[in-house]
Amino acid sequence: MKRILITGGSGLIGQGLTPLLQSKGYEVLHLGRKENLSGKVKTYKWNVEEGKLDERAFENIDSIVHLAGMGIADARWSEKRKKEIIDSRVKSSELLFNVIEKNKIKLSSFIGASAVGFYGAVSSEKIYTEADPAASDFLGTCCRLWEESYNGIISTGVRTVIIRVGVVLSGRGGALVKMAGPVKKGIGSALGNGKQIVPWIHEKDICGIFLKAIEDESMKGIFNASAPQFQSNAELTGAIAKQLNKKLWAPAVPAFVLKIMFGEMAGMFLQGSKVSTEKIQKEGYSFQFPEISDAMKNLL
């Protein structure tokens, strides 16, 4: 039985990926802030800020899936908060590398998360591919540093896959639950002009892509992970309303209101571009939910 160690296993992706891997016969372990060695999934403790972790978590590990990182939209972006967001990603990767190198751990694969924020908070008709450079705004800088933090691990020769994750839609939490709440109450509306693209992906597809990255020995490098169907904020909000049988009557939330509420972070909600999924599809991944209508029927 192969053993998979997941960091950030309590997050949205980790909660979906863990049972999927277990159903495939893998033994799954977590690295988390609190130790729990008696649960269905053993969780070993680590403290990224202090650079400490329980090295027992690495015994006989075949693959590591690195999902850990402070929530990027959980609080307003002060300079302190932005540093914490970056450090939580970069320092956690460096901590993993130090343990791998110190103990000469031979992994079959290392799967690291990144985000489509690599291309920045920008609205454009351009379709971004994995070959495009990082944006210079906070999101782009954060993702670039995040991906660069994997360089040490790559230097060990392990097969490394970096997944640039889109906006994960799940009925268990995250963006969809936050968007559906106002719609259910009859006060849902688009944000800004509503034309900004939301590079969404169904939770089953993002977990499926991570599973493929673990199992497909030919898969290596960077891959975008968002649905092949481009959807604007207004279209996504409309699809939610249609599935919930609600009407959208409220006017769109003005950009200036969002900027007052969220400051610099408002750019995440007001901007968005098209992201290519051609590379992951050529790699052989077939989306279970390529269209938003089917995703909404499944999730709502």
| Confidence tier at 251 by pLDDT (50, 70, 90) | confident
In this predicted structure, the answer to whether residue 233 has a pLDDT above a threshold of 90 is: yes
Q: Give mean pLDDT, residues 182-191.
A: 91
Domain assignment present for 52: yes
Strand 127-128 to 274-275 pairing: parallel
The strands making up 167-170's β-sheet, listed across from edge to edge, are 173-174, 167-170, 200-202
Contact residues for 257 (Cβ-Cβ < 8 A; gap 6+)? none
Minimum mean pLDDT among 81-90, 221-230, 242-251: which range? 242-251
Whole-model pTM? 0.96
For the chain, how many structural domains are there in total? 1
What CA–CA distance (Å, rounded) separates 142 from 297?
34
Domain assignment present for 161: yes
| Confidence tier at 250 by pLDDT (50, 70, 90) | confident
Total number of residues shown for the chain: 300
Domain assignment present for 282: no
Domain assignment present for 195: no
Domain assignment present for 286: no
Domain assignment present for 112: yes
We report the CATH number of the domain holding residue 140 as: 3.40.50.720
What percentage of the chain reaches a pLDDT higher than 70? Answer: 100
Boundaries of domain holding 216: 3-169+201-226
In this prediction, residue 234 carries a pLDDT of: 96
Domain assignment present for 231: no
What CA–CA distance (Å, rounded) separates 96 from 88?
12
What percentage of the chain reaches a pLDDT higher than 90? Answer: 90
